[in-house]
Structure 1
């Protein structure tokens, strides 16, 4: 069983590497055909530029700033979404009243919310964190609620027979069993939160990667733009992979998967 899981992970890793290699070859081929670095710079140009930028503290500061905004926003969204999902699960009346409004709010683009947040709370870290939280809130809510609705009724009934109820039932039974769904929502949330941070910096300013992209676009720094976009992709993949690793190391999740 263990060797099978290891082989599966190894093959998945190889598929990812093959996919990246194909994308890199396709990029290099397209750049060679276009032959215009202002339209599409080659991978060599972008990587060389990125190495230069990484040798300065300015890019590292931008990476840290965007990562901070994204992480704080996602955590804030999760702190609100997870309890609210439980409230929806327990009360059909509250779910019926609030669900349509929350679903309708997802039609509002993030770029339209950013100016309002500036008017309400000003510039700085706080409005960008709030924007990230608003973006990730709904996916985490839906994922957590889906996990709660799919709980094994036999396990819940057995726990109630043993005297579990209220907070104890949630803490010891319902929430642990819902953790895979919570992690799924967090994985989606963290990647969306990166987008929220970049959009927020476009509108509200700051010193993160979004502001860097805006400055590079103003001076038509195409190689720099591609390099910053590549950094954003790596940052999102790193956050996603960290959550996958954290989920795989969780004793509760591992116990659920072995059943």
Structure 2
């Protein structure tokens, strides 16, 4: 059963990718569509090979990835403690709760011009934009996870003498880890979008600025390649965090069984 589910998990995306490439090739070949407007898969591959051979292209990939990862880590380092404050303090919870939903509706492209006025342009400003984009998904996910902690385990830990930092570090953090990592997973994916928007609006030397240059030069095939690389970066970050999330869930389940047995 496990082997069949693993086979489906691998083969299904590959089959969908093959179908999409087939549809893409058919659409590019209908009516003599110019590659200037809609490049074919062969145009895409040739342009991808050309860009892959350029060191400056990989430098731009590294810059965008660094902006996204740095901003994600910064946002998580602030969001997680704030979520604990909301969980622990009824006053802070009452003050912030009405605004949590509204803050997630603010588009990044609306924040970018304001950040230019406040902090200027360049790497630091783009990192700040990424941090703001990932802050709220991580905050909301971690807060929800804290509110749904297993009360029986918390009570058993309290009876065993756990309190303060020991309660947070040994009990609450392991239990909330899956929810927190789910927010991190979504936030890291959003950070790629934040980095691209930031480079387009706030200045930068990564893939976002490259997209603007390719649009100006009518390099449509190059734009397709850059977008594909951005998708791969987002998928890679998503997969890495998801792997940690799955291992965290298994660890929490094992510890939950241990805590429940010890409390009886």
CA distance in 1, matches of 2:39, 2:253: 45
Q: In the alignment, is residue 18 of structure 1 matched against residue 27 of structure 2?
A: no
TM-score by length of 1: 0.93
3-state SS in 1 of match to 2:121: coil
Deviations 1:156-176 (A, max 9, x none): 100000000111111001111
2:65–2:192: 8 Å Cα contact kept in structure 1?
Answer: yes
CA distance in 2, matches of 1:243, 1:255: 15
1:170 to 136, 151, 168: 168
Match of 1:255 in 2: 251
TM-score by length of 2: 0.92
CA RMSD of superposed structures (Å): 1.5
Provide the aligned length of Structure 1 versus Structure 2. Answer: 254
Q: In the alignment, is residue 190 of structure 1 matched against residue 168 of structure 2?
A: no
Match of 1:112 in 2: 110
Q: In the alignment, is residue 137 of structure 1 matched against residue 135 of structure 2?
A: yes
**Structure 1: gaps of 5 or more residues:** none
Match of 1:203 in 2: 201
CA distance in 1, matches of 2:227, 2:220: 11
2:25 to 28, 46, 54: 28
Deviations 1:17-76 (A, max 9, x none): 112111111111111125221221111111110111010101100110000000011111
Which 4+ stretches in 1 moved above 3 angstroms? 4-7
Moved more, 16-25 or 59-68: 16-25
2:103–2:136: 8 Å Cα contact kept in structure 1?
Answer: no
